[in-house]
Amino acid sequence: MFKQVTVFVLAMFVLVVSSVASAHPGRTDSDGGHYCRTNCAKWGLSNGEYHYHNGGSSSSSSSSSSASSTPYVAPTPAPQPPKPAYTSSSLKVYVNGQRVQFNSSPLTYKGTTLVPLRELAKATNAKLTWNEDAGAIAVSKGKYKMTLTIDSKIVYYNGVRTTVSTAPVVRDGITYVPAQVFARGIGASISYSEAANTLKLTVK
């Protein structure tokens, strides 16, 4: 019995000594860790590095791991307001030397000038016939006849179908037609001065 007790005491002593030998000096705090101050390089630590004796990771490795795992999210640019498709124009229009006074300003769309149809037809003595159900407009003057359809690029000149670059449109209750399309439809010649910002139609 005495030998068994002696062997047990010796075994416990060896365990305690080996446990002490596997750790480096320094008291631990309530979290089970402390700052390394002695023989830090021997244990693979930096001088003053906080670490744990209970299997936890050091503060430096924990913080670096946390920082590296956070992805960078680029800021989202603020949305830009859409540019208007049609802009008001200060273009001056003349018919046979007389300026046309529009109640609504001409419009510009992708480099094309559109003018109020009814007022330009009146200034050129052209006749308008409306088909509201089909959205079609017939413009006639002498031997010339043109048929337009709102929001369509298909135009008929004396019955011949043609595709134009810009369609007639209705804006705020006003029908606008490309100036060049109208001039061709009534057989008028047209000239434009960029410097004077004027458009001149000559009607025979």
Instruction: Check residue 78 and give its pLDDT.
Output: 79
Residue 103 neighbours by CB distance under 10 Å? 8
Instruction: Check residue 19 and give its pLDDT.
Output: 45
Identify the CA nearest to 89 among candidates 103, 100, 105. Answer: 105
Q: List the chain pLDDT tens, one digit each, 204 residues.
A: 555 545 555 556 555 444 444 455 566 766 667 667 676 766 666 776 766 665 554 444 444 444 456 777 778 887 877 665 889 999 999 999 999 999 999 999 988 999 999 999 999 999 999 998 888 999 999 999 999 999 999 999 999 999 999 999 999 999 999 999 999 999 999 999 999 999 999 998
Domains of the chain: 2-66 (no CATH), 87-202 (3.30.457.10)
pTM: 0.59
DSSP conformation class of 77: P
Instruction: Check residue 74 and give its pLDDT.
Output: 74
Instruction: Check residue 12 and give its pLDDT.
Output: 61
Residue 120, exposed/middle/buried by CB under 10 A (0-12, 13-18, 19+)? buried
Among positive and negative, which fits the CA dihedral 119, 189, 185, 86? negative
Identify the CA nearest to 191 among candidates 125, 104, 95, 123. Answer: 95
